[in-house]
């Protein structure tokens, strides 16, 4: 059976159909055909996504895919090139300050005055947030074992990320935006951080927008995901339907013949996302429109292999690159 590589345009139709399915939800964050260029470099090329009230939304993409640029535009730090961004149902143009008072933001890189202590920092920032909760702030510092009176300049990267999260949650945000928050953390600190984020989402019914390139972080807490590649959304929806639609098959390299897929059971319905050889075997990653067969009858030599969610993510971004 002959096959054709997956058409990147099919990813766009997937995105549009998933967005349409959320039409009755109450959107908190909406990006429509957002583009951004820095000189000759196109960073975003039509990014579209929707985050609904009360959900944990995982924003996935490899480094350099445009995630941080998109978040900086949401926060009013970077100017939009073209397209539109709406927060809480309102355009951010002329409305950035009001929107930011309703958002808790943890940036990818933390920039604090190194001479300040967490105690001094709270006095400095709380005037900007009408709903600042000093008790919540101090309890989070205790939970994270962050000393109130130590200068922030002596904090590690992981400690600064925890401090930023403590500040963000103390504002009692309606929406929490996290940009690669676990970067640089050890596994124990990372798990502690994710547990707290998940707990906060359920406790306060806050909307959480979590940007990362680590699929394990998203698997633990996300209700829906958006995958961005080359500056545009290539998938938006729940994790399970995506992972259930993709399967990997392999055969000894000596038995592989280009142009053939593993079994007539596919009937031409699957798209090939990846075709590669390693360790003496040839691997095909296939995507099925209605879910991969659970117990396929395979031709001689072919076998179905296990896939992690990281494998699924890599296949999707490789297809769209």
Give the pLDDT confidence of 104-132 residue by residue, as tens digits: 998 877 889 999 999 999 999 988 888 99
In the predicted structure, residue 15 carries a pLDDT above the cut 50: no
Residue 4's pLDDT is what? 37
Report, as an integer, the average pLDDT of 264-290.
81
For the stretch 186-213, pLDDT in tens is 788 788 778 877 777 667 678 999 998 8
Q: What is the pLDDT of residue 266?
A: 56
Rounded CA-CA distance 74/82 in Å is 13
- Average pLDDT of the residues of the chain: 84
- In sequence order, what are the beta bridge partners of 236? 226
Interatomic CA distance for residues 29 and 208, integer angstroms:
10
Q: How far apart, in whole angstroms, are the C-alpha atoms of residue 314 and residue 229?
A: 11
**At how many degrees (to 10) do helices 118-125 and 134-143 cross?**
150
Whether 236 and 19 have beta carbons less than 8 Å apart is answered as yes
What is the token pair recorded at 160? Answer: 């600064």
Following DSSP, what letter does each residue of 43-102 receive, concatenated?
EEEEEEEEEETT-EEEEE--TTSSHHHHHHHHTTSS---EEEEEETTEESTTTHHHHHTT
Strand partners, 82: 35
Going across the sheet that includes 271-278, the strands are 271-278, 281-287, 246-252, 303-305
The 10s digit of each residue's pLDDT in 146-191 is 999 999 999 988 888 889 989 999 999 999 999 988 777 778 878 8
Tokens of 38: 């820095």
pLDDT tens per residue across span 22-36: 556 789 999 999 999
pLDDT for residue 258: 75
Tell whether the torsion through CA atoms of 229, 233, 234 and 239 is positive or negative.
Answer: positive
Report whether pLDDT(237) > 90. yes
Backbone phi, psi, residue 319, to 5°: -65, -35
Q: Look at residue 95 and give its three-state secondary structure.
A: coil
């Amino acid at each position: 059976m002959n096959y054709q590589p997956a058409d990147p345009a099919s990813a766009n139709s997937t995105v549009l159909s998933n967005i349409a399915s959320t039409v009755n939800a109450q959107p908190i964050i909406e990006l429509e055909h957002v583009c951004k260029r820095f000189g000759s470099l196109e960073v975003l090329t039509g990014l579209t996504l929707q985050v609904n009230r009360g959900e944990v939304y995982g924003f996935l993409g490899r480094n350099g895919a445009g995630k941080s640029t998109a978040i900086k535009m949401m926060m009013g730090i970077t100017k939009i090139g073209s397209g539109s961004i709406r927060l809480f149902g309102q355009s951010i143009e002329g409305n950035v300050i009001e929107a930011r008072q309703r958002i808790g933001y943890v940036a990818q890189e933390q920039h604090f005055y190194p001479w300040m202590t967490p105690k001094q920092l709270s006095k400095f920032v709380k005037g900007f947030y009408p709903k600042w909760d000093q008790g919540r702030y101090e309890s989070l510092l205790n939970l994270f074992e962050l000393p109130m009176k130590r200068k922030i300049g002596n904090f590690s990267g992981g400690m600064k990320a925890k401090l930023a999260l403590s500040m963000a949650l103390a504002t009692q945000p309606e929406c929490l935006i996290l940009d690669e928050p676990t970067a640089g953390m050890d596994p124990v600190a990372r798990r502690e951080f994710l547990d707290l984020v998940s707990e906060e989402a359920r406790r306060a019914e806050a909307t959480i927008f979590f940007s990362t390139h680590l699929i394990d972080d998203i698997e633990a807490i996300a209700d829906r995901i958006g995958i961005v590649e080359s500056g545009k959304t290539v998938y938006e929806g729940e994790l399970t339907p995506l992972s259930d639609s993709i399967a990997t098959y392999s055969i000894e390299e000596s038995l592989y013949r280009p142009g053939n897929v593993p079994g007539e059971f596919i009937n031409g319905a699957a798209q090939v996302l990846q075709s590669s050889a390693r360790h003496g075997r040839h691997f095909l990653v296939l995507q099925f429109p209605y879910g991969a067969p659970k117990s396929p009858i395979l031709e001689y030599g072919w076998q179905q292999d296990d896939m992690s969610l990281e494998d699924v993510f890599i296949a999707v971004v490789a297809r769209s690159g």
